[in-house]
């Protein structure tokens, strides 16, 4: 009984509550159920979009490499979801668009696709259209470039709090590892990095309590904390709670 009360008390201190500012919530819990992509559950069509730029159009060989590795990544996703008995039925879809500029941080290529290709003002409207037309619960978009840069995910809880333009950008070549897509896709649905270039304490505690994890770039399996953040579980495991306590104030 004492142990149960202690765990409940810890949860009350760590979890969001009505009237509490996001800044007062543990950094590792701020991403749950926010933004345009909330829970990775149900029928999910993962849309991989090949983006042709003037200097980096896609070739048949490069597309074939992405197809192969994407389906391998899908197997990892299914395996992760099965581990947590999550109700997830993921499939893949592929599209291809051409833009007039190279990849850039001002997102002019992105808005060209949203405005000119889809005729919408926001990717939220695009997601709503796909959910209806494809009859799915979620239709996350991953933009693929065959040039090279650091792959990343735009999320409302990291980049622009309250901003719903959530999507992934992946830069790839024929040497992509077999679960390259999972890490960025999981970010889109609330998963957080369990490595920290600015504070090694996060990575140390993640290694201690979760071992090797996809979100720590140390393995190919999902961890308990990120399973909770993506909606695969409704409660935090004992290890996840210990991690939260150990990392309070590190970011």
Per-residue pLDDT for 172 more than 70?
A: yes
Tens-place pLDDT, residues 184-199: 999 999 999 998 756 6
β-bridge pairing 88-98 and 141-145:
unpaired
Q: What is the pLDDT of residue 23?
A: 58
Query: At 227, phi and psi to the nearest 5?
Result: -60, -40
Per-residue pLDDT for 96 more than 80?
A: yes
State the Cα–Cα distance between residues 20 and 2, nearest whole angstrom: 27
The residues pairing with 58 across neighbouring beta strands, listed in sequence order, are: none
Instruction: Assess contact for 45 and 55: CB atoms under 8 A.
Output: no
Q: What is the pLDDT of residue 20?
A: 47
> Which whole number is the average pLDDT over 48-76?
94
Other Cβ atoms closer than 10 A to 156:
17
160's tokens: 């622009």
Q: How far is CA 237 from the centre of its chain?
A: 21
Q: Name the average pLDDT for the chain.
A: 87
Per-residue pLDDT for 169 more than 80?
A: yes
Q: What is the pLDDT of residue 142?
A: 96
Q: What is the pLDDT of residue 221?
A: 86
Tens-place pLDDT, residues 219-249: 788 999 999 999 999 999 999 999 999 998 7
State the Cα–Cα distance between residues 45 and 140, nearest whole angstrom: 7
The percent of residues above 70 in pLDDT, for the chain, comes to: 84
179's tokens: 């679960």
Per-residue pLDDT for 145 more than 90?
A: yes
HSE-CB of 113 using CA atoms within 13 angstroms:
24
Among 57, 22, 28, 33, residue whose Cα is nearest residue 166: 33
Q: What is the pLDDT of residue 163?
A: 72
Three-state SS for 45? strand
Q: What is the pLDDT of residue 14?
A: 54
Per-residue pLDDT for 12 more than 80?
A: no
Q: What is the pLDDT of residue 17?
A: 47
210's tokens: 């979760």
Q: What is the pLDDT of residue 179?
A: 74
192's tokens: 């957080």
> Which whole number is the average pLDDT over 32-55?
95
Per-residue pLDDT for 84 more than 50?
A: yes
Per-residue pLDDT for 202 more than 80?
A: yes
What sign does the dihedral 212-216-221-224 (CA atoms) show? positive
Tens-place pLDDT, residues 68-81: 989 999 999 999 99
Q: What is the pLDDT of residue 1?
A: 46
The residues pairing with 167 across neighbouring beta strands, listed in sequence order, are: 154
Q: What is the CA radius of gyration of the chain?
A: 19
> Which whole number is the average pLDDT over 208-222?
87
More confident site: 236 or 150 = 236
More confident site: 34 or 223 = 223
Among 139, 119, 154, 143, residue whose Cα is nearest residue 31: 154
Least confident range from 43-47, 93-97, 118-122, 156-160: namely 156-160
């Amino acid at each position: 009984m004492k142990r149960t009360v202690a765990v409940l008390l810890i949860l009350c201190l760590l979890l969001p509550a009505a009237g509490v500012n996001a800044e007062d919530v543990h950094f590792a819990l701020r991403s749950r159920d926010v933004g345009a992509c909330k829970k990775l559950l149900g029928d999910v069509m993962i849309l991989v979009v090949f983006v042709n730029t003037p200097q980096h159009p896609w070739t048949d060989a490069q597309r074939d490499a992405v197809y192969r590795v994407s389906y391998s990544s899908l197997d990892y996703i299914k395996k992760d979801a099965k581990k947590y008995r999550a109700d997830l039925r993921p499939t893949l879809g592929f599209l291809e668009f051409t833009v007039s500029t190279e990849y850039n941080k001002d997102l002019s290529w992105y808005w060209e696709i949203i405005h000119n290709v889809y005729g919408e003002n926001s990717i939220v409207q695009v997601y709503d259209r796909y959910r209806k037309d494809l009859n799915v619960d979620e239709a996350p978009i991953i933009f693929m470039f065959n040039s090279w840069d650091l792959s990343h995910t735009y999320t409302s809880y990291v980049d622009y709090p309250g901003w719903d333009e959530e999507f992934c950008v992946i830069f790839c070549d024929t040497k992509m590892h077999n679960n390259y897509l999972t890490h960025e896709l999981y970010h889109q649905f609330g998963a957080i990095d369990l490595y920290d270039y600015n504070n090694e304490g996060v990575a140390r505690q993640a290694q201690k309590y979760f071992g090797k994890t996809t979100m720590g770039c140390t393995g190919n399996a999902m961890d308990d904390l990120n399973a909770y953040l993506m909606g695969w579980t409704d409660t935090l495991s004992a290890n996840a709670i210990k991690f939260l306590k150990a990392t309070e104030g590190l970011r």
